Structure 1
Amino acid sequence: MALKKPYSSDNSRQSDIVSLKDGITALLRAYRLQGKLNEVTVVASWEKVMGKAVAMKTQQVYVSNSKLFVRLSSAPLKHELFMAKTRVLENLNAEVGEDIIKEVVFL
């Protein structure tokens, strides 16, 4: 008498397999965390997008209501970035791949 295998040899389990990327995306969508994750990504990529010199004069970066708030320790740098606000906004959104930030406020 032959023993029956616990799993059938057809690929019944293959239909349940989801890639890790798809699983995480579904999880973020289910818990509505994608927007918050994108905001955190914008804050984390501030130094990469703006460069080390700007990051050294940055005291605080945070997102609230689709606005990026940046506190700087240098008034001349603040003025220069204010004049290039549109370009800063475009570069940050390009880094994330979505239009997360609608406005940049320099403090």
Structure 2
Amino acid sequence: MAKRHAENISIGDALKEFIDTNRLEKGLDKVNAKEAWDAVMGVAISKYTTDIKLDRETLYIQLSSSVLREELSYGKDKIVKLLNEELGKELIKKLVLR
């Protein structure tokens, strides 16, 4: 049963407590990684992205264009840095383009 608080708490604090209690952080990180990819890379690259998967600290990106995959492979470190800045934490350590 959920615990009750005698004092008033903010909705943000209540949601954070709910996420921590139910161990939902990993699932939210996966969703946030997908949103960060779309925000950082823009519509042009998102159009060629067929699948995004976050597994541990590695982000797997499936692309439909081999030319784009080769072009993005030159800037993997910069992409990882931009994604982590967008996420606000060091969530991604490695980027794999497929």
Give the aligned partner of residue 29 of structure 1.
Answer: 20
Give how far 1:102 is off. Answer: 1.3
Give how far 1:45 is off. Answer: 2.5
Partners of 2:56 and 2:29 in 1: CA distance: 13
| Percentage identity across paired residues of the two chains | 29
Partners of 2:74 and 2:86 in 1: CA distance: 20
Partners of 1:34 and 1:58 in 2: CA distance: 24
Q: How big is each residue's C-alpha offset from its partner over 1:42-97, in whole Å with a ceiling of 9 and x where there is no partner? A: 11222111011101111111111221110111111101111100011011111110
- The secondary structure found in structure 2 opposite 1:16 is coil
Matches within 5 A, 1:83-98: 83-98=74-89
Instruction: Answer yes or no: is 1:39 the counterpart of 2:15.
Output: no
Structure 1 residue runs without a partner (length 5+): 1-14
Q: TM-score normalised to the size of structure 1?
A: 0.80
Instruction: Answer yes or no: is 1:57 the counterpart of 2:40.
Output: no
Question: Amino acid of the residue matched to residue 60 of structure 1?
Answer: D
Aligned pair count reads 94
- 8 Å CA contact 1:46–1:92 kept in 2: the answer is yes
Give the aligned partner of residue 3 of structure 2.
Answer: none
Indicate the RMSD between aligned Cα atoms, in angstroms. Answer: 1.5
Question: Amino acid of the residue matched to residue 80 of structure 1?
Answer: E
Structure 2 residue runs without a partner (length 5+): 1-5
Runs of 4 or more consecutive aligned structure 1 residues displaced over 2 Å after TM superposition: none
Q: TM-score normalised to the size of structure 2?
A: 0.87
